Structure formats: structure tokens, C-alpha cells
């Protein structure tokens, strides 16, 4: 069954991008571009979940959501 996890992307001062997954503690990655970071964090999520399966640990359900909030 497919699950969708929220990844938060932040651009660093040097222009690179970091990404982390709030629902999977410690699951993070980076890339030189946002696209690189997206590919890399997808791999990180898959690796994280594979490791949990190998250890017979529960896989956290996605519980984070995003919403753009506009302010004046």
C-alpha cells in the first residue's frame, strides 16, 4: 500500500537544499537543487522504511500536513 509522507524543503545560504520528513524522525537528505533534494529524500524515505521492516518495527503512519498561510 502506498503512503504519502510530507517532506519539508529548506534552501541553505550556499544555495543547496535540505529536506526532512517530520513523521519519520531522523529521515533527512539534501541536494544541490530542490529537484536533487526531492529525489534524495524519496530514497531516504524508502531506505528508512526498509530498515524498519527488517527490524520488525512499526512503520509510522503519515500524520503531517501542509497548508500555505498568507499574511499581509
Which pLDDT tens digit goes with each residue over 15-43?
A: 999 999 999 999 999 999 999 999 999 99
- Kindly report the CATH number assigned to the domain that includes residue 58: 3.30.160.250
Give the model's pLDDT for residue 72: 93
Its pTM stands at 0.89
pLDDT of residue 2: 84
Query: Is pLDDT at 56 greater than 80 in this prediction?
Result: yes
| CA–CA gap between residue 5 and residue 22 (Å, rounded) | 8
Q: Does 62 score more than 80 pLDDT?
A: yes
Please state the domain count of the chain. 1
pLDDT of residue 15: 95
Q: In what order do the strands lie in the sheet with 28-31?
A: 8-11, 17-20, 28-31
Structural domain containing residue 65? 1-72
Amino acid at each position: 500500500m502506498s503512503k504519502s509522507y510530507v517532506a519539508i524543503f529548506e534552501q541553505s545560504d550556499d544555495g543547496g537544499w535540505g529536506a526532512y520528513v517530520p513523521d519519520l524522525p531522523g529521515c533527512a537528505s539534501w541536494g544541490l537543487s530542490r529537484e536533487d533534494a526531492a529525489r534524495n529524500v524519496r530514497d531516504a524515505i524508502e531506505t528508512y522504511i526498509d530498515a524498519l521492516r527488517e527490524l520488525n518495527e512499526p512503520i509510522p503512519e503519515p500524520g503531517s500536513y501542509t497548508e500555505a498561510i498568507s499574511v499581509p
